[in-house]
Amino acid sequence: MSKSSKQATWGGRFSKGPAELMLRFSESVSFDQRLALFDLQCSEAHSAMLEEVGILSTSEKEAIHAGLATLRSEIESGEFAWDMSLEDVHMNIEQVLTERVPEAAKLHTARSRNDQVATDMRLFFKAACTELQSALEAVLTALLDQAEKTQQIYIPGYTHLQRAQPVSVAHHLLAYAEMISRDLTRVAAVQDQANWCPLGSGAIAGTTLPIDRESSAQKLGFVDQDGNVRVTQNSMDAVSDRDVHLDFTYACSVIGIHLSRLAEDLILWCSSEFGFVDLPQNFCTGSSLMPQKKNPDAMELVRGKSGRVVGDLQTLLTMVKGLPLTYNRDLQEDKPPVFDALEQSLISLQVVEGVVSGMEMIQDKCAEAVADPALLATDVVDYLVQKGVPFRNAHHIIGALVALAEEKSMPLNELSLQDVQGVDEHFEADWVDCFDVVKALESREKIGMPGPNEVKSQIARLRRKLG
C-alpha cells in the first residue's frame, strides 16, 4: 500500500501524501502506542453506544467488537506491527481494523481523535494513579516497619544542618511517612479529577448525531462513588483541557521532592561524617578506582530523577500556556512528559522502598552523636520556666551557662551545682535530670511530638490509614 493511501483517514482532500520528514516529525505512535489498550476499550464502548442509538446494526457492532478483540490479543502479545506512517495509535488501530473488518468504516462516526485521545488519557491517568498508590503504600509500609524498629534509637534532629534537639529515628522517619500519606491523598484527588468522560465532545462542537454520552461514559467506568455517570460539561474545554496532565505530573513532582529529601538525609547519614546508617549493599555501588568506597548511588539517582520529573511538569506548563482554544497539535507533545513522570516516580518509589526496608541504623554512632548535652539546652530553659522564670530571662540564663561551660572547656551538664546557682538561684540539684534523653522524649507526648507513646500511636494511625 502506498503512503498516501495509508493516510486515508484524513487523506480525502489531499492529492499528495506527507513528506517522509513530515511523517517522522509528526508521528506519535512511537510513544502513544502505550495508550493502545485504552484506545481499544474506548472504541468498544463507543461502538456499543452507537448500536444502542441505532447508528450501528447489531451485526456491525459485533463485527467491530470481534475485530477489536483480535487486535487486543495481537497488541498484548507484541505481534501488532505499528506503522509510523499512520501517525498515531488511533489511526494505526482504526486502519488495520477497517482493512480486516469493513464495518469498522463506521467506527469513527460521531467521534474525533480529539475527544478520543482526551478519553484515552483519562483512562490512562485513572490506571496510573492506582499504580502510584500501590507504590506509595509500599514505601509507607517500609517506613512504618523501619520506624517500628527504631523507636529507641536516638539521633540529633537538625536545623540549618546544625544539631538541634534529640529525636528518635522513628520520629524522623515518620515525618516522611506523613509526606507519603499526603501524596496518597493528592494522587486520589488527581484520580477523581480524571474521572470525567470527554467522549462525545467530537473535534470541538460535539455532533448532530443522536449519541448517548452517558452510556459510553458508564461503560468506560466514568462513574462517581454514588454511581452517577460523569461526562465533561463543555466540548471545547474537554478537547483542549490538560489540567489532569498538569495535576498528575505535579503530584509526581511532589513525590519526587519528598523522596529526594529522604534520599538526601540518607546520603548524609551514611557518610563517615555522620555514620548513622548502613545502606543495603544491593542498592549501593563501588568505585572503579577506590576500593574502599561504598556509594549511595541509588539515593543520588532518586535525588537526580526528581529534577527530571520537575522538568516534565515545566514542559507541560510551558506547552499549554498561551494555546488558543481548542485542540492544537502542540498538545500531542503532552504524552512523553506524563509517561516519563510516571515511570521515574514508580521506579524511584520502588528503589526507596528497597533501601528503607534494608537499611540498618548504626546504634553506637547514633548514641555518640546524640550524647552532646547541648542538644538539651532548650529543656533546661523549660526547667527554669517551670520554676516561674520568664522564658526570655531563662533563655538568657542558659545562654550564659553555655558560655560558662565553653570557658571552662567542659560539657554543659558537667557544670557544678555551685556554678549554675552562681548564674541563677532557681537551679536545684535535679537540674541535671534535664540531660537524660529518654526522659526528655518522655516529656513530649502531645500530638505530633517525639514522645515514645505518641510515636507508637502515630505508627498505629498510619497503619490504619493503609488498611
Interface contacts to ligand ARG, rule CB under 6 A:
28, 32, 88, 113-114, 117, 327, 329, 331-332
Catalytically annotated residue among 2, 15, 77, 160: 160
Minimum distance from residue 124 beta carbon to ligand ARG (Å): 12
Catalytically annotated residue among 26, 73, 271, 287: 287
Minimum distance from residue 28 beta carbon to ligand ARG (Å): 5
Specify whether 306 is catalytic. no
- N-term to C-term CA, the chain: 56
Minimum distance from residue 210 beta carbon to ligand ARG (Å): 24
Residues near 16 by beta carbon (within 8 Å), at least 6 away in sequence: 4
Please say which residue, 115 or 247, places its beta carbon nearer to ligand ARG: 115
Quick check: 85 and 96 in contact, CB under 8 A?
no
Instruction: Give the separation between CA 276 and CA 361, rounded to whole angstroms.
Output: 6
Minimum distance from residue 35 beta carbon to ligand ARG (Å): 9
Side-chain-side CA neighbours of residue 177 (13 Å): 27
Work out whether strand 277-278 and strand 360-361 pair parallel, antiparallel, or are unpaired: antiparallel
Instruction: Give the separation between CA 399 and CA 102, rounded to whole angstroms.
Output: 87
Please say which residue, 117 or 123, places its beta carbon nearer to ligand ARG: 117
Please say which residue, 3 or 182, places its beta carbon nearer to ligand ARG: 3
Please say which residue, 106 or 335, places its beta carbon nearer to ligand ARG: 335
DSSP designation for 271: S
Quick check: 155 and 369 in contact, CB under 8 A?
yes
Minimum distance from residue 262 beta carbon to ligand ARG (Å): 35
Quick check: 440 and 166 in contact, CB under 8 A?
yes
Specify whether 426 is catalytic. no
Output the nine-digit C-alpha cell for 362.
Answer: 548504626
Please say which residue, 87 or 424, places its beta carbon nearer to ligand ARG: 87
Phi-psi region of 200 (alpha: psi -120 to 50; beta: other; left: phi over 0): left
- Angle at CA of residue 26, ends 97 and 30, nearest 5°: 60
Return the active site residues.
Answer: 160, 287
